[in-house]
Amino acid sequence: MALKPDVSALSAKASNNAAENDAAGSSTESENREHKSDTAITVSAKDAWPPSVSTSKSAADEQSALDLLPTWITPVHYDIYLRPEIDTGIVSGSVCIDAEVTHSTSTIVMHAKDVDIEGIRLYVGDKFIGDLHDTINYDSAMETVSVCVAQRQLTKGDRIKLLINYQARISDSMYGLYRSKYLDRQGDQASMLVTQFQAKCARMVFPCWDEPSYKAEFSLQLTVPRSHTALSNMPVLKTEDLPGDMLKTVYFERSPRMSTYLLALVSGELDYVEGTASGCGVVVRVYTAPSDNDKVEFSLETAVRVLDLLGKMFSIPYPLPKLDLVAVPELEAGGMENWGLVLFRTVRLFITKQTSLWIRQKAVYVIAHELSHQWFGNLVTMRWWDDLWLNEGFATWIGIYVTDLLYPEWKRWDHFAIEDRQAALSADSLRSSHPIQVTIKGSADIDQVFDSITYYKGCALIRMLSEHLGIDSFMTGVRLYLERHQFASATTGDLWNALETTTGESVRQLMESWTKMVGYPVITVDDCFEEGRLRLTQSRYLHSGQPTDEEDRVVWWVPLAMISSETGGKVVHKTLQTRNACVEMPGGSDVAWVKLNAANAGLYRVCYSAEALSRLAGAVARGELGTVDVVGILNDMVALVVSGYMRTSVLLDMIGSFGSVGEYVVWQIIGVFLEGMYLTWADHEQDMRANIKGLSRSLFGPKAASLGWTHRADDSPLVARLRAISIPRAAWAGEPSVIEQACQLFLDFYNNPDAKPFQHDFTASVFEIAVRNGPPENHSRVREMYENSQRWRLSEDHRMAALGAMSCSRDKQAMWDTLEYAMTDKVLPQDLNIVIGFMVTSDHRSKHVLWKWFCENYQRVVNRLGECSALLGHVVGTVINDFATKEMAQAVESWFADKRTMAFDRTLPQSLEFIRVRAAWYARDCDDVRRWFKDKRNDVAGLE
């Protein structure tokens, strides 16, 4: 599943990105569940490495500690029939479950949620045992149904068959089996049927063992209107028209063994384009609503290329006979990796000539992320959700790795360094963070670990490990892991075993502190340049400052990867495995500068001494460091400023050196830092608001002017991105020439839809600037463009940009009206967070308007998104993340005190901690920042 993180170090969003915020031998499944052998780390001394390892709880203890089904019975095959009534919302269903008894029992327990069982018959072998309907017991809290077998004891080795007739419901949320609105062939609004079973929603459609380790084969029959195209994981076996009522029953081929959350179906009036992956001969189709198939040619081409590339990388052919991608208007996440039937939000597949470069890049990544799951997640599945990072961290790494292979000019790893990696480091710098391998007791905990720790810290660790082992050695181990566990489930320990077999390294010992313990280190550097030595100390990094002794007990294995002025770009590899160490500088006492964490591959921060930092600033100004290393220094400085390791004025003094680097990733960090600083200071000091914007204007105004509004033929993609971020940053800072031009361009485009007077990469920025700075009419104009996007030929991402721009008005009533509009049928529930995301950073007052509206309309939001929806957690985090005073932290905490917070009981404490971190930053550095601006008043235009 594709995810966009909803928290960041400063929670400042790049304005032109907000619209898209929307990778030896197998054992049986019963053996997998009963013989868990993972180990737990205990650290015996503050300076000990490697950590001592103690044996984990027994399987029986572990089973009882988790809210899992009993392991008495293992399903083998499901034969499912579904007849959904789109108008009434009723699903008539039956399922025949073949299963194996693994422990003697007289009770059968399955998952079922909002399913009414009308009859349940039991066979042992071919012998009918009895009707069990009278013994049914529902447990709504556990989402299970159990039946008692009074006729005889089921014994180990019995093969049983359960025949169940039931009724289920078409869901009103984007979970289970639900409706997604679209336009049919007549142009009328209709509903397609879609499933979203991850993580625990197959039980809403049929009784089943709805845990990932219970893999089984599936046969599916589906009765739908004859006008519909019905899709599932496997190809269609046959179709039978039913007499009289314009319905048909579609039979699908039997699937290989897979988890319940990967079963999927789609039914609606659909068109498609198709191609063939040359390496494996598999036909790839991309399905859309009628008349939209001309928008997905790029996505089809990308899917075919990615499928071929992944087959070669994994040395295992794509495991299914077909691959379908479907553009779904309403989908909870950006993508969902159902085996052979991968679903995407339309904005991820609709890539046309009008689509911005950034959205095109995002599309390639998301397609690669979801298709990598066909092996890493589907062919081999994590045994339980505490190893979700095995699926999502690896798919994120593969998504970026493959994107970089296909389009090296995009420098996708540079972007990872400024966004995805930072999201992971930011979230993991909180006391309220969690380890990558986090305990998941039951269903209520699962959705909340689809977060930046799982995805992006997981990805960063895989990158760190693959760089240490070497990519070829790493992938050899990955292939062995897939071969050993294909069509089965596995744990993190199984991956370490495979990598140790192929590399000979103690991978488990190196990595367990990273996956099982919360947090990551900051390496403090005390230099002795005249002696050519560095004194290093590692400790846990926290945004809120120095950790306590109890919080700072882990000693990590840290790959130092050093470069200096004397290494000629060659990386010198050393490791830090103790609390303190002294290492020689590469090049000895002759070095002019030295940098740790070359290429930013390690998951840690570096706090340099004043001398070492001054020398690095000179190297940056002279262009002696690569872009990704400059990014690493700058990102670390931002984090160290926020947490109090260094004063804000130190970073402000160095902005000039960083600004000499003409790469968009560096300017993006500068812009986000200044916006985050503004949002932190804005509620305290009016003159500081003007000064921070003045500083930003002095940087981005000239940059926007030099780059201009027109892409040139010889521009690289990254120059185009720099231009696309410089213009909105300059406008945000109040640059009059940019604001005036953007408003005029918007008006020209509004009045003449056939002649767009600016390039597509500027669409979101022009819309925002025009609404924020133009006449009030621009608010209604951009709404008109959202509602009638075809008239202005807006691509899907630009239609979303028009929606987000409605939130950028400075008028409080317009803000309120936009939020009310977002609650109507004009806006899909999944897009509410786009409106909120644009609004919260649009103006320093807008977050307070938003909070007031949110408090008054909280129950409406809950009803619209669902009390247990991950979307609700994203919205809550976005609403509160950008406050920066202790008073607001207390107000938010008090307001939620009597609310049901199960959908965001991880998000809420993280957001509250961010608020208090910002409040502490201001309290600590307000005088320092005031002095800096006073001293620079004559040097920087626009300061007060």
Question: For the stretch 47-73, what's the b/e string if a residue is b when 16 or more beta carbons lie within 10 angstroms of its beta carbon?
Answer: eebbbeeeeeeeeeebbeebebbebbb
Q: Tell me which residue has tokens 């009882």.
A: 64
Place of tokens 């339309």: 346
> For residue 78, what are the CA distances in angstroms to 92, 197, 825?
16, 16, 37
DSSP track, 373-410:
TTTBTTTEEESSGGGHHHHHHHHHHHHHHHHHHH-GGG
**What CA–CA distance (Å, rounded) separates 112 from 569?**
59
Q: Please name which of 877, 873, 805 lies closest in space to residue 835, comparing C-alpha atoms.
A: 805
How do strand 265-268 and strand 271-276 relate by DSSP bridges?
unpaired
Start-to-end Cα distance in the chain: 48
Q: What are the C-alpha distances in Å from 100 to residues 72, 75, 424, 769?
A: 9, 6, 42, 63
215: helix, strand or coil: coil
DSSP secondary structure letters along 712-755: -TT--HHHHHHHHHHHHHHHHTT-HHHHHHHHHHHHHHHH-TTS
Tokens of 455: 């995805």
Q: What is the number of alpha carbons within 13 Å of residue 490 lying toward its C-beta?
A: 30
Query: Known catalytic residue: 370?
Result: yes
Angle CA(425)–CA(429)–CA(433) in degrees, nearest 5? 105
- State both tokens at 33: 């569940």
Q: How far is CA 176 from the centre of its chain?
A: 21
DSSP one-letter string for 255-303: P-SB-GGG--EEEES-EEEEEE-TTT--EEEEEESTT-GGG-HHHHHHH
Using left for φ > 0, alpha for ψ between -120 and 50, and beta otherwise, residue 291 falls in left
Q: How far is CA 607 from CA 164, 414, 420, 524, 640, in A?
A: 62, 21, 21, 5, 7
Nearest-angstrom CA–CA distance, 943 and 934: 8
d(CA 567, CA 626): 13
Omega before 50 within 30 of 0, i.e. cis: yes
Buried b (16+ CB within 10 A) or exposed e, 425-443: bbbbbbeebbbbbbebeeb
Cα(592)–Cα(452) distance, integer angstroms: 37
Determine which one of 143, 370, 675, 796 is catalytic. Answer: 370
Among the listed residues 149, 253, 143, the one whose alpha carbon sits nearest the alpha carbon of residue 208: 143
Alpha carbon of residue 755 to chain centroid: 37
Q: How far is 487 from 228, CA to CA, in rounded Å?
A: 31
- Specify which residues 720 forms β-bridges with: none
Work out the number of other CB atoms within 10 angstroms of the CB of residue 526: 15
SS3 505: coil
| Residues 6 or more apart in contact with residue 452 via CB below 8 angstroms | 3, 5, 7, 420, 423, 424, 426, 427
CB 217 within 8 A of CB 254: yes
Does the bond joining 199 to the residue before it have cis omega, within 30 degrees of 0?
yes
- Give the strands of the sheet with 159-169, arranged side by side: 127-131, 116-124, 159-169, 90-101, 73-84, 217-225, 247-252, 236-241
The residues that are catalytic are: 370
